[in-house]
Chains A and B, each alone.
Chain A
Amino acid sequence: MLVWFLPVFLILLMIGLPVFFGLLFAPGILLWLNGQERDIALLYRNVYNGMDSFPLMALPFFMLAGELMNRGGITTRLVEFSQALMGHLRGGLAHVNILSSILFAGLSGSAVADTSALGSTLIPAMERNGYSRKFAAAITAASSVIGPIIPPSGIMIIYAYVMGESVAALFLAGIVPGVMVGVGLMVMVRLLADRYDLPKAERIVQRGQTLSEGESFISFALLRINIAGLLVGLYHGVFALIGTLDAAKPEINSWWIMLFMLPVAHIIVMMVRKRVSEDFRIVCKKAVAPLQTPIIILGGILIGVFTPTEASAIAVAYALVISFFVLRSMKLSDLPSILMKSALGSSTVLLLVGAAVAFKTVVSLSHAPEQLADSILGLSSDPLILLFLINVLLFIVGMFLDAGPAIIILGPILGPIFVDLGVHPVHFAIIMSVNLTVGLATPPMGLVLFVASSVSGEKVETISKAILPFLAVEIVVIFLITYIPAISMTIPRLTGFVQ
């Protein structure tokens, strides 16, 4: 009888019961009918235990860091930087929109924040540059789904917690898929640019900008440290790939390599500097400080200096320092509303995660995954076909339900089935996360479509049609990720976060 909680839950959800109550009502009522009143108390305790978690704390912190960055005026700097790099291409501002989303993804784990922050800046600019409003809104919505794929990612923190996976492994696994979505969208823009004669844009929006001495020095130092770090990473990556790292490790310490790479980085920067204009240099320098956030988060986790939760708190502190002392764009009186908005947004997610942990207990008690697995295996025993079918299912679910709640509900049910079929848990997490994230931009219920509509003033139906070519690209990427596990698994394997 207990197995009926799943259909009951789905019906309640479809008629509009909030997911939080559905997650508790459906299993609760069936436990009661089954005479298992004692387990209802367990349900309540698991809501509490589900919320009482240190790793989960990263969720409000990353939300807060993203909100601080956004309000601190970092978005404008990122857009100017993207435009300096890609504005001169045909369909320039559309490329700028996508690149800004990729960069913004490293600061915030939310597609909605991405759409509202970048949309309010870029949609009017694209319209002035000759793009139709529906195209501008569509590309903003389509590229914003990169936000929760590239780390830090709210939905990956939730998945990792609910399913007992490593947050760091999921973060690292999301990097290549996120970049692939971005590159895929850029290819589509290039094709559309030829067809619709999309315009180029100026690389520099505002000439003659200046930089304070302090920020100039910070950018000078950070840029060289970043490039040197990248070179050290490449050095280790190359040796890891050819399998001789173990032999090289005892002889050369990473810090010595870093020390050697610093002058190399300086020479590279000086070589590039000669080829670019003063304005271009200033725009790039202004983006250096904001773009340290993803480096601090991933660098700290990779080196093992701090946990993802601590990394998220450091990201908040860094965002505060940047907004108050470098950009000087924020006042103390702005803080309460920013903190309140982050607390408000994260509290609903934390309650949902708590309810999901309680729900998961009943999922295990009911043996629903085993029965569902039998039904799914009855369709086919070929994992490739099953992965195709599950992608279709996830895509449909994503059309109607937000990515976070969908992961909370489906993760505990589908995860164990596919892991038993031999799909790596991290690989399956990425398939689910990317698929459900793309669902945020699919009609009829895609959340970012509504946000793009409110930012642009264009109807949701019109944006829904204009977004179709970009959705096609994202579907292709989903299937590439599904059938080529190396796309998501290579970086976590190389860094030792996945065996």
Chain B
Amino acid sequence: MFMMVLNILFAINTTILRIGRALAWIALGIMVAVILIQVFFRYVPFLDALPWPEEAARFLMLWMTGLIAPSAYRWGGFVAIDMVPQALPKAICAVLMIVLLGLSTLVLIVAVQLGWQHTMGFGGNFDSSSLRLPLDWFGGTDTKIKLRYMYGSLLFCVVMMLVINIELIIRSVFALVSPDTELPDDDSATNMVRAD
């Protein structure tokens, strides 16, 4: 039963995170381009400085973080002092890990609730000051982007981290009660390290 849940979570997380990583590096590339456009338009004669690049770049940075930070979390990229866990016997260390993951889950559950209110609440309904969808180019009406589309980046991040946390808890339980069980392994992290 637990193994089935783990396999489902593993498959969902691996797929969503892979898409997230691809979108995140594209966002970073566009961020660079947007800032260069900002500098270009400011200094080239007869061109006016653009109002939107700064906010667009922030929008992209928030989504870059929201999309790729869960991958970093899943691969153990979040900074922690692991001297105490490493010094403990294996079984106690596994229990401690479950406790720590439990605390993280608590933080993430509250964060998801607050994130939902933040994104879908009153504040999220406001328009962005300079970002708009130029639908008028295609015969529609010019539409300003709602702030909730920016706020959503952190909500997506905490939701994904919560799902990953559940996967990590199940893995830790397996490590405690049945250390020899073969668990599904995401080799993307290893591949990225090898790419260096």
Contacts and interface: CB of A to CB of B under 8 A. Distances in A.
A28 interface: yes
Interface in A101-148: 116
Contacts of A354: 154
A56 B79 CA distance: 19
Given A15-B96, A16-B96, A60-B31, A344 B80 contact: no
Interface string B97-140: 10010011011001100110110000000000000000000000
B32 A21 contact: no
Interface string A242-286: 000000000000000000000000000000000000000000000
Given A54-B54, A60-B31, A348-B77, A340 B83 contact: no
Contact of A401 (B21, B69, B81, B117): B81
Given A339-B28, A350-B61, A306 B39 contact: yes
Q: How large is the interface on B (under 10, 10 to 19, 20 to 34, 35 or more residues)?
A: 35 or more
A350 B82 CA distance: 21
Interface string B20-56: 0110111111011001101100010000000000100
A60 B24 contact: no
B81 A317 contact: no
Contact of B36 (A16, A18, A313, A344): A313
Contact of B68 (A44, A48, A316, A344): A344
Given A44-B111, A347-B68, A339 B100 contact: no
Contact of B107 (A28, A52, A314): A28
Given A60-B64, A445-B83, A313 B192 contact: no
A309 B35 contact: yes
Interface string A402-435: 1011000000000000000000000000000000
A339 B25 contact: yes
B58 A52 contact: yes
A310 interface: yes
A13 B154 CA distance: 23
Contact of A343 (B24, B43, B110): B24
A24 B115 CA distance: 14
B100 A41 contact: no
Given A44-B115, A54-B58, A60-B64, A317 B32 contact: yes
Interface in A324-356: 335-337, 339-344, 346-348, 350-352, 354
B69 A16 contact: no
Given A64-B32, A317-B32, A339-B25, A16 B100 contact: yes
A45 B110 CA distance: 12
A387 B96 CA distance: 37
A25 B28 CA distance: 30
Most B CB atoms within 10 A — which of A15, A28, A343?
A343
Nearest to A310: B39
Nearest to A313: B35
Given A18-B78, A314-B39, A44 B104 contact: no
B65 A14 contact: no
B71 interface: yes
Contact of A25 (B77, B85, B107): B107
Given A21-B107, A313-B35, A348-B69, A15 B118 contact: no
B61 A341 contact: no
Contact of B111 (A24, A51, A316, A444): A24
Nearest to B76: A18
A343 B22 CA distance: 10
B111 A25 contact: no
A17 B80 contact: yes
Nearest to B191: A337
A445 B25 CA distance: 31
Majority-rule SS of A interface residues: helix
B104 to A, nearest CB: 5
Contact of A16 (B32, B81, B118, B154): B81
A402 B79 CA distance: 8
Contacts of B22: 336
Contacts of A179: none
Contacts of B104: 17-18, 21, 25
Contacts of B32: 61, 64, 313, 316-317
B61 to A, nearest CB: 5
Nearest to A352: B79
B58 A314 contact: no
A40 B114 contact: yes
A48 B118 contact: yes
Contacts of B196: 116, 341
Interface string A1-38: 00000000000111111111100110010000000000
B156 to A, nearest CB: 12
- Give the 3 A-B residue pairs with the shortest CB-CB distance, closest first: A339-B25, A313-B35, A44-B114
